[in-house]
């Protein structure tokens, strides 16, 4: 009862954006800003220039406009909320066209058709699972059609005999027919990461609103971003659901700090992106130091982690790992002992051996994980 339920731990799994372990670790400057804002009062909804009431969205809007090229932007509590809000505000209870190949489940049993129902809109499926053409959208537009929704396949891929029109073509069709265009981008990369489309490229394609996550490839706290045309984003901001989905001061401080860290230091300043880009030599040194601490029970071998968080499906992050022979107790027993420590260490099992992946640990965390494994073996 004396121990907090939500606790820090060491992620030795090699999965960078591990949803169960809190996804993206925040940049140091974002943590400093978060602590400073949380420590006392802040200008959350106070305009320091006029001395009157201000808006909480202003604290991240300018940064998001600068980094995405959008006319306007706001942030809510996650990307599912961002997509729901965009649909509720722009679809207006009309029909929404979605390719059958994009009717995805985004995790936790939340599915695009269910989100559409909650928004008050009606789903109209177009095309087939593997092939949808622009003509399929054109043929499905009717008197009640209000919106075209494009959903990026951020957590799976359909390969082989496939076809999908790009978002620029869909946005042009939407403008021609007087429809709204919403692009659910998913992971929210600010620059190319293993071929993932960026927020700025999605905005430039011409959608009214682009929705994405902040805690995946953007590397920040849990949040959902809506960026795009000023009038469309403003309609989302004014919608009654926006208040139910709004960020508090801690989330806003963490998001602002992350965006500033990225603007000033690039991807190297964002821990999640730095882990994905980790240098082979650094990983090798970390793995060897762990193996040396563990002695004969450990060796350095090749392994592979993953970006995680429902992003970059099919991408494997190969590199050196420290592999531990669990002895007579077995791998599961060693994992349990590591989990039960005051500072838990979460690892993975491969071929009945425990793997400590240096990619998702700092030097200090790797040293602590190795000491923990040595004590657990003893």
Mean pLDDT for all residues in the chain: 94
Compute the distance between CA of residue 189 and CA of residue 266 in angstroms, rounded to an integer.
12
The architecture of the domain spanning 10-16+272-377 is Alpha-Beta Complex (3.90)
How many Å from the N-terminal Cα to the C-terminal Cα in the chain?
A: 28
| DSSP secondary structure code for residue 193 in this structure | S
Distance CA 199, CA 211 (A): 9
Supply angle C-alpha 348, 339, 221, rounded to 5. 80
Cβ 233 vs Cβ 2: under 8 Å: no
Which stretch of DSSP H or E encloses residue 149?
strand 145-151
Distance between CA atoms of 362 and 303, rounded to whole angstroms?
18
> What DSSP state is assigned to residue 294?
H
Joined together, the tokens standing for residue 372 give 């923990």
* 348-358 per-position pLDDT tens digit: 999 999 999 99
DSSP code of residue 142? -
CA angle, 188 then 193 then 199, to 5°? 30
Task: Return the SS3 of 299.
Answer: strand
Ordered by start, the domain boundaries in the chain are 10-16+272-377, 25-269
pLDDT of residue 154: 65
| 242-265: average pLDDT | 97
Contacting residues for 69 by C-beta, under 8 A, at least 6 apart: 200, 203, 204
Q: Tens digit of pLDDT for each residue in 58-111?
A: 999 999 999 999 999 999 999 999 999 999 999 988 999 999 988 887 666 678
For the domain with range 25-269, which CATH number is right: 2.40.40.20, 1.10.287.70, 3.40.640.10, 3.30.365.10?
3.40.640.10
290 vs 274: CA distance, rounded Å: 20
**Residue 51 has which token pair?**
């001395």
Q: Is 123 left (phi over 0), alpha (psi -120 to 50) or beta?
A: beta
Residues 6 or more apart whose Cβ sits within 8 Å of residue 272: 16, 17, 23, 24, 25, 217, 219
Is 0.75 surpassed by the pTM of this model?
Answer: yes
Confidence of residue 332 (pLDDT cuts 50, 70, 90): very high
Proportion of the chain above pLDDT 70, given as a percent: 98
Q: What is the pLDDT of residue 152?
A: 87
The HSE-up count of residue 195 (CA atoms within 13 Å, CB side) is: 8
């Amino acid at each position: 009862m004396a121990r907090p339920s939500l606790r820090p731990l060491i992620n030795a799994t090699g999965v960078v954006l591990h949803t169960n372990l809190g996804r993206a670790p925040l940049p140091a400057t974002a943590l400093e800003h978060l602590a400073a804002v949380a420590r006392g009062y802040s200008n959350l909804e106070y305009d320091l220039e006029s001395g009157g009431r201000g808006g909480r969205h202003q604290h991240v809007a300018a940064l998001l406009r600068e980094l995405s090229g959008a006319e306007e932007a706001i942030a809510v509590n996650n990307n599912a909320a961002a997509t729901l809000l965009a649909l509720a505000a722009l679809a207006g209870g009309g029909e929404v066209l979605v390719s059958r190949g994009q009717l995805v489940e985004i995790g936790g049993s939340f599915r695009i058709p269910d989100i559409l129902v909650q928004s008050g809109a009606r789903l109209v499926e177009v095309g087939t699972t593997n092939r949808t053409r622009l003509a399929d959208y054109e043929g499905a537009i009717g008197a009640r059609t209000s919106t075209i929704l494009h959903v990026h396949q951020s957590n799976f891929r359909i390969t082989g005999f496939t076809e999908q029109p790009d978002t620029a073509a869909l946005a042009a069709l939407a403008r021609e027919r007087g429809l709204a265009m919403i692009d659910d981008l998913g992971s929210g990369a600010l620059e190319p990461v293993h071929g993932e489309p960026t927020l700025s490229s999605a905005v430039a394609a011409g959608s009214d609103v682009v929705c994405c996550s902040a805690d995946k490839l953007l590397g920040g706290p849990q949040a959902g971003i809506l960026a795009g045309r000023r009038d469309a984003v403003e309609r989302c901001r004014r919608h009654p659901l926006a208040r139910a989905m709004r960020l508090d001061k801690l989330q806003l401080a963490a998001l602002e700090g992350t965006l500033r860290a990225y603007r000033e230091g690039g991807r190297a300043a964002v821990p999640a992106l730095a882990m994905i880009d980790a240098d082979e030599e650094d990983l090798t040194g970390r793995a060897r130091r762990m193996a040396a601490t563990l002695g004969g029970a450990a060796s350095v071998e090749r392994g592979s982690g993953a970006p995680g968080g429902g992003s970059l499906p099919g991408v494997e992050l190969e590199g050196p790992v420290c592999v531990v022979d669990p002895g007579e107790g077995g791998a599961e027993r060693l994992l349990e002992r590591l989990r039960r420590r005051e500072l838990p260490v979460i690892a993975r099992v491969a071929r009945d051996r425990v793997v400590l992946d240096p990619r998702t640990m700092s030097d200090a965390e790797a040293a602590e994980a190795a000491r923990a494994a040595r004590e657990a073996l003893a």
